[in-house]
Structure 1
Amino acid sequence: MKKMKHLSTLTAIAGLALLLTGCVQRTKSGKPYGAIYDYLAVPTQHVMSWLAEMLGGSYGWAIIAVTFIVRMVLLPMMINQSRKATVQQEKMSFVKPQMAAIQERQKNATTNDEKAAASQQMMSLYKDNGISMTGGMGCLPILIQFPIFAALYAAIQYSPALASGASGSMFMGISLGKPNLVLAAFSFIIYLLQGWLGTLGIPAEQKKSMMSMMIVSPLMIFFVSFKAPAGLGLYFFVGGIFACVQTLIIYFYRPKIRASVAEEMKKNPPKVVIEPVVPVAPKTTVTPTQTHHNNRQRNAGKQQHHHSD
């Protein structure tokens, strides 16, 4: 579930980045124009310029301030969404035997009717036990981030101050108006760390399904950061720090969530849609040698008992 969440979020961000590169148009003289630039980029540029003046003329600190404000506003909502996803994960563990039985039925289905019946059972298992098919993730935080990301992307990409290489466009020796490998690498590392933190305290089988996204998600961030001006990489890096904090909050809160779900399942046990498959212990094959050895032991026991009498 969490894998799906990360994939949908980062795929959307990467797709939006590619979309924005073509949405902002330029005149023959090179001046940008269009709805995204006029209504998103320009106001954001004004905010960044105002913050830069307040923070010693540094656009780097202005971008960090914008990121901090945005993330602090979104943090309660993001934590709530992560909590809901965690609740769904814990509920899934209670219906895992039934899910395994349905998956086995899907695997062995030979006709379309059998496959459809198995799929219907899976949907009923989710619905009857109050489990979301999307893992509890909501679209609202992602939708809110879209215009913010679009505004920052276009504002940084087409900022006259950053493009001119003015003194305020330099941050820690990095030109924020040009792509920078260092910031892209830092963004990759911080989201790789966030992915690893997300695997703490979860079952081993879920970790295996998340391992690929631990690499894919940071790589997507790296690709977008490396292609865009370094100012956007700075936004990703600082945002990644907030993502790590959010993940740690959920990690420390997970035992309480697990106990709450266990109590709920105790009061309202999972509804049975299909009987779980009970593994049958393999039969032990007795060889002639083993039979002879067992008989000798029994005879020896009888003789010992006879002598004792």
Structure 2
Amino acid sequence: MKKMKHLGTLTAITGLALLLTGCVQRTKSGKPYGFIYDYLAVPTQHIMNWLANLLGGSYGWAIIAVTFIIRMILLPMMVEQSRKATVQQEKMAYIKPQLTAIQQKQKNATTNEEKAAVSQQMMALYKDNGISMTGGMGCLPILIQFPVFAALYAAIQYSPELSSGSHSLFMGFNLGQPNFMLAALSFLVYLLQGWLGTLGIPQEQKKSMMSMMIISPLMIFFISFRAPAGLALYFFVGGIFACIQTLIIYFYRPRIRASVEAEMKKNPPKVVVPEEPVVAAKPQASNSIARDHLSNRKRNAGKQQHRPKK
């Protein structure tokens, strides 16, 4: 489930990034226009200009301020969504024996009817035990970030102040041009966030998360490296907030685990797939042959005892 959540997030962000590159159109003279630019980028540019004037003319600090405000607004919602996802992970441990049995049936299913029946069992297992198929992580936090991401992407890409002049410099970085260093920092901070997300979870779940823990930062690096460094700065600061959010859940996990354990004691997991009866092992062939040979010897001895004397 965690893997599905990360995969959905990556697909959404990547698709949005590809979409944004073609949404803002240009006139023959090079002036940008379109819905994204007119209604998202331009207001964001005004906000950034206002913040930059308050912060000594630094657009770098203006981007950090915008990121801080957005993340602080989203932090309670993101923490709550992460808490729900953690509850789902803890509940999964209680239905694992049944889940394993269903997965084995999926491998052995040959006909469409058998596959459909197994899928129904899987859905019933999740539904009857109050577990979400998506892992409890809703799409609302991601959807809320879409317009913010779109606004910042277009605002930074087409900002006159960031395209040239001293305003585009921040700690030696040109925020209007792609920068490998900021992209690499974004990669590292999201790699750290992924590693923090594996703390305190079973080893089996860690193995399933390892691939996504690498792919997610790589996608962030790819987007950051191709975009202006101002967007990479937004990702970097946002990644720091993501690490803080993950640490909050890590320290809160023991309480979540105790709560789920108490709930499972009151309401044990509903059995959808009964356990298979244990079948006694068949005797080995060598033992069977030995018993047959001994039985034959006894019968032959009995015949010799009853044979009449001449």
TM (norm. structure 1) is 0.90
Displacement after TM superposition at 1:167 (Å): 1.3
CA distance in 2, matches of 1:63, 1:173: 15
Say if 2:274 is the partner of 1:275.
yes
Displacement after TM superposition at 1:9 (Å): 1.4
CA distance in 1, matches of 2:240, 2:215: 18
Q: Residue 240 of structure 1 corresponds to which residue in structure 2?
A: 239
Letter in 1 for 2:229: A
Identity %: 80
Q: Aligned pair in 2 of structure 1 residues 228, 282: CA closer, same or farther (>3 Å)?
A: farther
CA distance in 1, matches of 2:147, 2:217: 22
Q: Residue 141 of structure 1 corresponds to which residue in structure 2?
A: 141
Letter in 2 for 1:238: V
- The C-alpha deviation readout for 1:277-308, integer Å capped at 9, x for no partner, is 578898897999xxxxxxxxxxxxxxxxxxxx
Q: Please give the root-mean-square deviation of Cα atoms over the aligned residues, in Å.
A: 1.8
Letter in 1 for 2:250: Y
Displacement after TM superposition at 1:276 (Å): 3.2
1:106–1:115 CA contact under 8 A, matched in 2: yes
- The C-alpha deviation readout for 1:229-269, integer Å capped at 9, x for no partner, is 00000000000000000000001101100000010000000
Letter in 1 for 2:272: V
Displacement after TM superposition at 1:10 (Å): 2.3
Q: Residue 107 of structure 1 corresponds to which residue in structure 2?
A: 107
Letter in 1 for 2:27: T
Matching of residues 204-223 of structure 1 within 5 Å: 204-223=203-222
Matching of residues 25-40 of structure 1 within 5 Å: 25-40=25-40
Q: Residue 230 of structure 2 corresponds to which residue in structure 1?
A: 231
Q: Residue 86 of structure 2 corresponds to which residue in structure 1?
A: 86
SS in 2 for 1:134: coil
Letter in 2 for 1:79: V
CA distance in 2, matches of 1:20, 1:278: 57
Q: Residue 300 of structure 2 corresponds to which residue in structure 1?
A: none
Q: Aligned pair in 2 of structure 1 residues 55, 284: CA closer, same or farther (>3 Å)?
A: farther
Q: Aligned pair in 2 of structure 1 residues 168, 216: CA closer, same or farther (>3 Å)?
A: same
Say if 2:20 is the partner of 1:20.
yes
SS in 2 for 1:94: coil
CA distance in 1, matches of 2:124, 2:157: 48
CA distance in 1, matches of 2:101, 2:46: 58
CA distance in 2, matches of 1:198, 1:210: 9
Letter in 2 for 1:33: Y
CA distance in 1, matches of 2:52, 2:77: 28
Q: Aligned pair in 2 of structure 1 residues 277, 182: CA closer, same or farther (>3 Å)?
A: farther
CA distance in 1, matches of 2:279, 2:27: 73
Displacement after TM superposition at 1:222 (Å): 0.3
Q: Aligned pair in 2 of structure 1 residues 74, 275: CA closer, same or farther (>3 Å)?
A: same
Displacement after TM superposition at 1:139 (Å): 1.3
Q: Aligned pair in 2 of structure 1 residues 33, 275: CA closer, same or farther (>3 Å)?
A: same
1:101–1:275 CA contact under 8 A, matched in 2: no
Q: Residue 191 of structure 2 corresponds to which residue in structure 1?
A: 192
CA distance in 2, matches of 1:280, 1:100: 19
Q: Aligned pair in 2 of structure 1 residues 281, 240: CA closer, same or farther (>3 Å)?
A: farther
CA distance in 2, matches of 1:255, 1:241: 23
Matching of residues 248-263 of structure 1 within 5 Å: 248-263=247-262
SS in 1 for 2:93: helix
CA distance in 1, matches of 2:203, 2:182: 32
Displacement after TM superposition at 1:11 (Å): 1.9
- The C-alpha deviation readout for 1:61-85, integer Å capped at 9, x for no partner, is 0000000000000000000000000
TM (norm. structure 2) is 0.89
Displacement after TM superposition at 1:8 (Å): 1.2
- The C-alpha deviation readout for 1:139-169, integer Å capped at 9, x for no partner, is 11111000000000000010010012x2121
CA distance in 1, matches of 2:67, 2:280: 57
Letter in 2 for 1:188: F
Aligned length: 288
SS in 2 for 1:133: coil
CA distance in 2, matches of 1:77, 1:98: 32
Displacement after TM superposition at 1:22 (Å): 0.3
Q: Residue 298 of structure 1 corresponds to which residue in structure 2?
A: none
Structure number with greater Rg is 2
Q: Which runs of 4+ in 1 moved over 3 A?
A: 276-288
CA distance in 2, matches of 1:279, 1:152: 61
